[in-house]
Amino acid sequence: MRTGIAVRRAGDRHSAPHWRAVLEARWRIRLQEVTELSVAYHAAAAGSAAAGDPQARQLLGRAVAARQRLADTEDALGRLAAGGFGRCEQCMGPISGKLLNAVPESRYCAACACSAAGAVPALASTPAPAGRR
């Protein structure tokens, strides 16, 4: 079985240590974002008498989205540790360096992401193929 990026030379810009550093930096940023949004949401919810306060709802939505990004980063770190980082979870082919550079948390190659979405995915997100996640 072929493994992902982790098998590349240590000096390679796309080696496991490179991606670990990138993903850990993103994890720290995302954790801070989740924390700040959660604190802001709880402050807004506590200060609002109305159950459906628009500001609190907006903060909650942002906090949930930030938590998903954090989970995606944690999943990518897990794939890196297991040797599957950089491999498509559907076809097991390599994920392009261009896509990984744009979205290191990518789970799917561009072809599998496109076939699932029926279109070319934006580099900012990698949708899961049907039946995944």
Within-domain flag for 102: no
- Cβ–Cβ contacts within 10 Å for residue 24, how many? 13
Domain containing residue 62 = 5-85
Report the pLDDT value the prediction gives residue 49, as an integer from 0 to 100: 62
Average pLDDT for residues 27-34, to the nearest whole number? 98
- Amino acid (1-letter code) at residue 49: A
Within-domain flag for 104: no
Within-domain flag for 30: yes
The pLDDT confidence band at residue 14, using thresholds 50, 70 and 90, is low
Under 8 Å between Cβ of 100 and 85: no
The pLDDT tens digits for 44-90 are 888 776 657 888 899 999 999 999 999 999 999 999 999 999 999 99
Total domain count, the chain: 1
Helix axes 54-82, 16-47, angle to 10 degrees: 160
The pLDDT tens digits for 109-118 are 999 988 876 6
Within-domain flag for 57: yes
Query: Taking Cα atoms as reference points, which of 78, 69, 72 lies closest to residue 16?
Result: 78
Average pLDDT for residues 23-40, to the nearest whole number? 97
Within-domain flag for 33: yes
Average pLDDT for residues 24-37, to the nearest whole number? 98
Within-domain flag for 75: yes
Q: Which two tokens stand for residue 52?
A: 């459906």
pTM of this structure: 0.75
**Would you say residue 9 has pLDDT above 60?**
no
Within-domain flag for 105: no
Furthest-apart CA pair in the chain: how many Å? 58
Within-domain flag for 25: yes
- DSSP state, residue 76: H
| Average per-residue pLDDT for the chain | 82
